[in-house]
């Protein structure tokens, strides 16, 4: 890092952006310049200097629906780190982009990134944004009860077998690489309803919200218990989910993950799930 570049970044600020070529024509020409000022109340969640909202962007030739995550105020440590090391992905937007691409490289289906960028400085400022393409589906915790009502029992059971197998494959793929989601709730698995409507045998799941994704070479089991404990806790009270589904997931997962001492691991996962349940009951 040159001292001249550092002082320029500190005094004047700098920014960078990346736009997926597949979506470039769907974005406004001034997207990077105007993205932090976009207003949308569609599925808006905003608190503590950050927001997430659904936004429909109109470009020169087409449009695209995205979920836009923005961070307007970040901790001092992240701001200073970005000023010193602008390539370090210190903002949540840039970090999640890296996490998404890592998971994709492992073979995990994740949302497609449309655009990402950071504003670094001046004087220790830091903001970021991440736009991911809207998925053609819904969260499993919402979909499964609806499918149970709309499908005959045999068709529903067959679809669940495929869903459970794919969930186990996704979790095991991450964990074999000592990579952990840390927010592995049922609501973070999206089912492509368009494909399922055409053919119930065509089950396409996508894993979302990878902002906490981390690799842990040491004490990997601890993070496995956290991920799978969260997943087990999150199915409590969800209509359409049975104990047989849980057993089927475990049989697929432990084989795909190359599990050692599965009985002991299962016990620790159940204990973790019970702690989540107890904590959230108060």
pLDDT, averaged across the chain: 94
Based on the domain organization, do 150 and 275 belong to the same domain?
Answer: yes
Residue that finishes a domain, picked among 117, 133, 149: 133
Residues 98-137 pLDDT 10s: 999 999 999 999 999 999 999 999 999 999 999 999 999 9
147-171 pLDDT, tens digit per residue, is 999 999 999 999 999 999 999 999 9
> 265 and 142 in one domain?
yes
- pLDDT per residue over 204-218, tens digit each? 999 999 999 999 999
- Domain closes at, from 79, 105, 133: 133
Domain identity same for 95 and 152: no
* Across 260-278, average pLDDT: 95
155 in the same domain as 104? no
Q: Do residues 141 and 276 both lie within one domain?
A: yes
Q: Are residues 118 and 190 in the same domain?
A: no
| 276 lies in the same domain as 143 | yes
CA separation (Å) from 115 to 16, 62, 111, 212? 11, 16, 12, 19
Are 189 and 271 in the same domain?
yes
Same domain, 15 and 87: yes
pLDDT, residue 282, reads 63
Q: Percent of the chain, pLDDT > 70?
A: 99
pLDDT surpassing 80 at residue 281 = no
Residues 143 and 275 in one domain: yes
Query: Are 76 and 188 in the same domain?
Result: no
Based on C-alpha coordinates, what's the Rg of the chain? 21
Cα first-last separation, the chain: 50
Cis geometry, peptide bond prior to residue 122 (ω within 30 degrees of 0): yes
Domain that holds residue 38: 3-133
- Does residue 1 register a pLDDT over 80? no
Same domain, 272 and 200: yes
What Å distances lie between residue 274 and 87, 175, 226, 267, CA to CA? 41, 21, 11, 11
Number of separate domains in the chain:
2
User: What is the reported pLDDT for 5?
Assistant: 84
User: What whole-number distance in Å separates Cα of residue 144 and Cα of residue 160?
Assistant: 8
The per-residue pLDDT for 2 is: 78
The CATH number given to whatever domain includes residue 168 is 1.10.510.10
Q: What CA–CA distance (Å, rounded) separates 230 from 226?
A: 6
The pLDDT value recorded for residue 200 is: 78
57-68: pLDDT as tens digits: 998 879 999 999
Q: Say if residue 49's pLDDT is above 60.
A: yes
């Amino acid at each position: 890092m040159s001292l001249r570049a550092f002082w320029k970044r500190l005094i004047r600020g700098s920014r960078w952006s990346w736009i997926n070529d597949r979506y470039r024509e769907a974005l406004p020409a001034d997207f990077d310049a105007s993205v932090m000022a976009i207003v949308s109340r569609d599925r808006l969640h905003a608190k503590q200097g950050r927001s997430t909202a659904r936004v429909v962007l109109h470009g020169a030739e087409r449009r695209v629906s995205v979920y836009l995550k923005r961070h307007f105020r970040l901790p001092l440590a992240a701001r200073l780190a970005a000023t010193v090391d602008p390539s370090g992905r210190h903002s949540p937007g840039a970090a999640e982009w890296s996490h998404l691409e890592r998971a994709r490289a492992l073979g995990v289906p994740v949302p497609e990134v449309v655009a990402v960028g950071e504003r670094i400085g001046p004087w220790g400022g830091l903001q970021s944004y991440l736009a991911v393409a809207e998925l053609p589906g819904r969260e499993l915790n919402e979909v499964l009860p609806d499918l149970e009502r709309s499908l005959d029992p045999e068709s529903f059971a067959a679809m669940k077998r495929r869903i459970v197998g794919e969930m186990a494959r996704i979790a095991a793929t991450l964990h074999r690489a000592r990579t952990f989601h840390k927010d592995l709730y049922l609501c973070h698995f999206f089912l492509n309803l368009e494909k399922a409507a055409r053919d119930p045998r065509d089950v396409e799941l996508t894993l979302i919200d990878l902002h906490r994704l981390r690799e842990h070479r040491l004490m990997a089991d601890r993070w496995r218990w956290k991920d799978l404990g969260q997943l087990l806790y999150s199915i409590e009270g969800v209509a359409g989910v049975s104990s047989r589904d849980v057993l089927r997931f475990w049989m697929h997962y432990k084989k795909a993950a190359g599990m050692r001492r599965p009985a002991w691991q299962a016990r620790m996962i159940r204990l973790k799930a019970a702690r989540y349940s107890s904590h959230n009951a108060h």
